[in-house]
Amino acid sequence: MQTERGQWSSKIGFIFAAAGSAIGLGNIWRFPYVVGENGGAAFVLLYIFFVIVIGLPYMFAELALGRSSQRNPVGAIDAIKPGSTWKWAGYLGVLTGVGILSFYGVIAGWTVGYIYKMAVGNPGGFNEYISDPWLIILLFAFFIALTALIVHGGVEGGIERWSKILMPVLLILLISLIIYSNTLEGSGKGLAFYLKPDFSKITGKTILAALGQAFFSMSLGMGLMITYGSYLSKKENIISGAIYIGMFDTLIAIMAGLIIFPALFAMGESPEAGPKLVFVIFPKLFAQMPGGLIVGAFFFILLSVAALTSTISLLEVPVAFMVDEKKANRKRIVWIVAALTFIIGIPSALSQGASDFFTNFGLIPARLTSPDFLSQMSFVFGDFSLAFGAFILSIFIGWVWGANKASDEIQTGAPGFSKIRPLWIFMIRFFIPAVVFIILLNLFGVFD
Kindly list the residues in this chain that would bind ligand TRP in the complex (CB under 6 A): 21-22, 24-27, 100, 216-217, 219, 222, 224, 310, 313-314, 386
Q: Return the H-helix or E-strand segment holding 258.
A: helix 238-266
Cα 120 to Cα 25: distance, rounded to the nearest angstrom: 23
Secondary structure (DSSP) of 90-143: HHHHHHHHHHHHHHHHHHHHHHHHHHHHHHHT----HHHHHT-HHHHHHHHHHH
CB of 91 to ligand TRP, least distance (A): 15
Q: Is the dihedral of CA 426, 384, 401, 419 positive or negative?
A: negative
Number of Cβ atoms within 10 Å of the Cβ of 343:
9
CB of 361 to ligand TRP, least distance (A): 22
- Closest to ligand TRP by CB, 24 vs 40, is 24
- Closest to ligand TRP by CB, 306 vs 414, is 306
- Closest to ligand TRP by CB, 22 vs 295, is 22
Cα 409 to Cα 56: distance, rounded to the nearest angstrom: 16
- Closest to ligand TRP by CB, 266 vs 302, is 302
Cα 221 to Cα 215: distance, rounded to the nearest angstrom: 6
CB of 220 to ligand TRP, least distance (A): 6
- Closest to ligand TRP by CB, 252 vs 443, is 252
Cα 56 to Cα 302: distance, rounded to the nearest angstrom: 26
Burial environment of residue 445 by CB neighbours within 10 A (0 to 12, 13 to 18, 19 or more): exposed
Secondary structure (DSSP) of 378-436: HHIIIIIHHHHHHHHHHHIIIIIIIHHHHHHHHHTT-GGGGGTHHHHHHIIIIIHHHHH
CB of 421 to ligand TRP, least distance (A): 27
- Closest to ligand TRP by CB, 159 vs 184, is 159
- Closest to ligand TRP by CB, 224 vs 239, is 224
Burial environment of residue 289 by CB neighbours within 10 A (0 to 12, 13 to 18, 19 or more): middle
User: Do the Cβ atoms of 61 and 428 come closer than 8 Å?
Assistant: yes
User: Do the Cβ atoms of 226 and 70 come closer than 8 Å?
Assistant: no
Number of Cβ atoms within 10 Å of the Cβ of 122:
11
Number of Cβ atoms within 10 Å of the Cβ of 11:
17
Cα 299 to Cα 176: distance, rounded to the nearest angstrom: 11
- Closest to ligand TRP by CB, 217 vs 394, is 217
Residue type, 401: W
User: Do the Cβ atoms of 28 and 252 come closer than 8 Å?
Assistant: yes
Q: Classify residue 82 by its DSSP letter.
A: T
- Closest to ligand TRP by CB, 24 vs 296, is 24
CB of 97 to ligand TRP, least distance (A): 7
User: Do the Cβ atoms of 239 and 416 come closer than 8 Å?
Assistant: yes
CB of 196 to ligand TRP, least distance (A): 26
CB-based closest residue to ligand TRP: 26
- Closest to ligand TRP by CB, 31 vs 396, is 31
CB of 28 to ligand TRP, least distance (A): 8
CB of 25 to ligand TRP, least distance (A): 5
- Closest to ligand TRP by CB, 13 vs 292, is 13
Contacts of 237 (CB under 8 A, 6+ apart): 11, 413, 414
Q: Classify residue 29 by its DSSP letter.
A: I
